[in-house]
Amino acid sequence: MVAVEKGGRKLGGIFAALPTAFGHDGALDPEALRRLIASLMSRGVEGFYVGGSTGECFLLSERERMESLETVLKAVGGKVPVVAHVGSLSTKSAIELARHAAQAGVAAVSATPPLYFSYELDEIASYYQDIVQSCGLPLLVYNIPAFSGRNFGIQGLTRLLNIPGVLGLKHTSMNLHEMERIRAAFPAKVIFSGYDEIFVAATALGADGMIGSTVNLMPELFIAMRTQIREGNIAEAQKIQHIVNSIIEGLADGSFFPALKYALDLSGFSCGACRKPFQPLSEQRKTAIAARLVEYGLIK
């Protein structure tokens, strides 16, 4: 079971981890999301990851997650692949989201491990197996130890990647040794890097692509990095990575996701505020973010 793009190419490339757009009333804002997607596609983004951490997934109802996915798929119109994050606290909920995603027409699904309870690895493996069997789609394991509290290690990831129907890994971890070992052990699996800050290093170690939050803000820089890597200009790619990381540091000096949404607002793509318990940014933070974006030429 392999997800492929048109023309038979293996799933990969530069994907934007989309935010969820909210209006002033706190409801979903489909038009704002469509505008952002149209811009990103025109600027070379090669796919979208919907309903993940950047999308505030666990702050949305199941119905909202489904509606947001439907908006994205209609906006994309089959031109690039879409991966739906269906991770949930319960297997039942994850299955419902996965079945909806399959019917809606995504290329693959993805899921964080189930959260809160200290599940055994066998229980987590069963959760992923149940999702795959329920929807018939390939699945990317979403490895994000900093948020999930679960560090699988190489042995744990090996167990999960051997589940029939598991396409590969969204590796949102700074542990590149772990990623390289998985790459070597599973040459046919798809590996997406999930941390924008290490795009050059992850690509050099064999990642098939990236799924990034700040791709929404500066896709051109990630495309430029990949071009330089492909042409063998690693030093030039490193220079661009330095710029990207300096911008990210400006956003991450506090709560990252509200800062990203504010940066998008300044760039002309308002997606509303993050839902509570996220708090609004202070005026001091807003000023600092704006200054960083001006410094690096993302806004005037």
- Rg of the chain taking only CA atoms, in angstroms: 18
| Domain-wise residue ranges, the chain | 13-233
Q: Is residue 140 classed as helix, strand or coil in its secondary structure?
A: strand
pLDDT in tens, 112-128: 999 999 999 999 999 99
> What digits encode the pLDDT tens for the residues 64-108?
999 999 999 999 999 999 999 999 999 999 999 999 999 999 999
What are the residue numbers of the active site? 142, 170
DSSP per residue over 76-116, as a string? HTTSS-EEEE---SSHHHHHHHHHHHHHHT-SEEEEPPPPS
Confidence at residue 184, expressed as pLDDT on a 0 to 100 scale? 97
Q: Give 197-224 pLDDT, tens digit per residue.
A: 999 999 999 999 999 999 999 999 999 9
In a 13 Å sphere around the CA of 110, the CA atoms on its Cβ side amount to: 30
**How much is the pLDDT for 6?**
38
- CA 221, CA 264: separation in Å to the nearest integer? 15
Q: Give the predicted TM-score (pTM) of the model.
A: 0.95
Q: What is the pLDDT of residue 8?
A: 41
Residues 14-57: tens digit of each pLDDT: 999 999 999 999 999 999 999 999 999 999 999 999 999 999 99
CATH T-level topology, domain 13-233: TIM Barrel (3.20.20)
Tell me what pLDDT residue 86 has.
Answer: 98
pLDDT, residue 254, reads 85
Q: pLDDT at residue 136 above 70?
A: yes
Chain-centre distance for alpha carbon 219: 13
Please state whether beta strands 47-50 and 13-17 pair in parallel, antiparallel, or not at all (unpaired). Answer: parallel
